[in-house]
Amino acid sequence: MTTSSPQAGPSRVLGTVDAVAIGAGAMLGAGVFSVFAPAVVGAGAWLPVAILIAGIVAYCNAVSSARLAARHPQSGGAYVYGTERLGELWGYLAGWSFVVGKVASCAAMALTFAAYALPGWERPVAAAAVVAITALNYRGVRRSTFVVKVLVVLVLAALAVAIAAMVLSGRLALVAQVDGLGPWPGSFGLLGSAGMIFFAFAGYARIATLGGEVRDPATTIPRAITLALGGVLVLYLVVGTGLLIVLGRERLSTSTAPMVDAVLVAGFPALAPVMVAGAAVASLGALLSLVLGVSRTTAAMAADGHLPRALAVVHERHGVPHRAEILVGAVVVVLVLLFDLRGAIAFSAFGVLVYYAITNASALRLGPEETRPPLVVPVVGLVGCVVLACSLPLAVGMTGMAVLGLGAAVWWTRERYGSRL
């Protein structure tokens, strides 16, 4: 979900490769370096199935987002779609859940960076990273398409090195000796893990917002969504399955830096710094974009009166909503000091799943003349988001519902008393 002000007459300069790189760059963040450890707890040896389920739900969400973006080209994502198609409350809850989920994502990215960079000092290192990134965003730093491509190449190179190490270890050859997929983990175990892994796919909707920037968007955007999501899904299946086999379920479930542990177990300790560098590039690059996006969403909601209007003020020199930037950075620092990586991933997944549930519900309201996607797409996306969100750990679900209830209460108070909260 983007919230920057729309520009007049954007140049259509991006091709399919550019759009795929942007989509892959939005997805290949810290998730691939961290999510498989908490996910394997519930799924066990069924981890590849959980990855596939998460990928299918993500694909449906991306298609629904793309069709809605074509009809509502203004910035805002489901904040706009929900308001226009379902009513103001649903649009507000989409924006609220986006901010809540992505703030948790910021914490997860920072904690992932710290877990790889300086194990044992995760909280202070993560807090310092958030402060540094917030300071960069405050001064108007942006990620260009070229920078996105460079980051994607670096992350892919690190993952390729990890995969090669796991293959050369010879442990993958032992897969034939595994007793099938092991015991059935239960529906909640498998689907809860898929909900966790969905966190690693979040970001694909960035492609859907490129309609005014790509050449031949009617063809380029669907193609880019399929290529980017398909490629990332295959990569996640390879990496997740490799980690499961090389480390085993028990060691993977307790690992804070799975990629480092994988190359160590594979017998290539010299590659550990490469994994640390890859995780740092992925997590800090994603953190930069996330803080930028969340602060812009917060400012947009403030401008609409859904949050304190003071947060919408733009810095005269740097041209950024600096108060929103500082608030988001401060909240993320509090989160990394109070919560662990697994909790941050699960809570982020809950918020983003709610956001996309509203997106799919909005897509169902598109008419046949509005290039509505095949009915199965938003239906599978909506049901999938609801089921995965409800399958996350109970404490996460209860906390998430409480936060959504708080958001609804703020909206109701504003509507009832006319106060611009």
> Tens digit of pLDDT for each residue in 318-374?
566 778 888 888 999 999 988 888 889 999 999 999 999 999 999 999 887 777 888
Which range, 223-227, 294-298, 395-399, is most confident? 395-399
Confidence of residue 4 (pLDDT cuts 50, 70, 90): very low
Tokens of 297: 């969403």
Q: According to the model, what pLDDT value does residue 8 have?
A: 40
Where does residue 6 fall: left (phi above 0), alpha (psi -120 to 50 degrees), or beta otherwise?
Answer: beta
Q: Above pLDDT 90, what percent of the chain? A: 34
Torsion angles phi and psi, residue 14, rounded to 5: -95, 135
Q: What's the rounded Cα separation, in Å, for the pair 33 and 256?
A: 9
Q: According to the model, what pLDDT value does residue 142 have?
A: 58
Hey, which residues does 14 pair with through a beta bridge?
Answer: 214
Contact assessment for residue 349 and residue 199, using Cβ atoms and an 8 Å cutoff: yes
Q: According to the model, what pLDDT value does residue 74 have?
A: 66
Please compute the mean of the pLDDT values over residues 190-217 and round it to a whole number: 78
Q: Which of 5-19, 56-70, 235-249, 255-269 has the lowest mean pLDDT?
A: 5-19
> Tens digit of pLDDT for each residue in 138-194?
666 555 566 667 788 888 899 999 999 998 887 766 654 555 556 677 778 899 999
- Average model confidence (pLDDT) across the chain: 83
Assign 3-state DSSP to the chain and report helix, strand, coil percentages, each to 5.
80, 0, 20
> Tens digit of pLDDT for each residue in 14-66?
677 777 877 777 787 778 898 999 999 988 889 999 999 999 999 999 889 88
- How many alpha carbons fall within 13 Å on the CB side of residue 17? 3
> Tens digit of pLDDT for each residue in 82-114?
888 998 899 889 988 988 888 998 899 999 999
Hey, which residues does 214 pair with through a beta bridge?
Answer: 14
* 200 contact partners, CB below 8 Å, separation of at least 6: 27, 29, 31, 32, 35, 54, 236
Tokens of 46: 């069924």
* 394 contact partners, CB below 8 Å, separation of at least 6: none
Distances (CA, A) of 402 to 16, 27, 86, 114, 383: 41, 28, 22, 29, 21
The residue written with tokens 């908490």 in the block is: 38
Which range, 122-131, 196-205, 290-299, is most confident? 122-131
Q: Please give the domain boundaries of the chain with CATH numbers for all domains.
A: 16-416 (1.20.1740.10)
420 or 101, which is more confident? 101
Q: What's the rounded Cα separation, in Å, for the pair 337 and 60?
A: 35
Sign of CA dihedral 77, 112, 339, 382: positive
Confidence of residue 236 (pLDDT cuts 50, 70, 90): very high
Contact assessment for residue 52 and residue 241, using Cβ atoms and an 8 Å cutoff: no
215 or 112, which is more confident? 112
Tokens of 305: 């009166």
DSSP-derived secondary structure letter, 145: H
> Tens digit of pLDDT for each residue in 369-388?
777 888 999 999 999 999 99
Contact assessment for residue 106 and residue 332, using Cβ atoms and an 8 Å cutoff: yes
Residue 10 has pLDDT above 50, yes or no: no
362 or 211, which is more confident? 362
Residue 215 has pLDDT above 90, yes or no: no
> Tens digit of pLDDT for each residue in 385-403?
999 999 999 999 999 999 9
Confidence of residue 1 (pLDDT cuts 50, 70, 90): very low
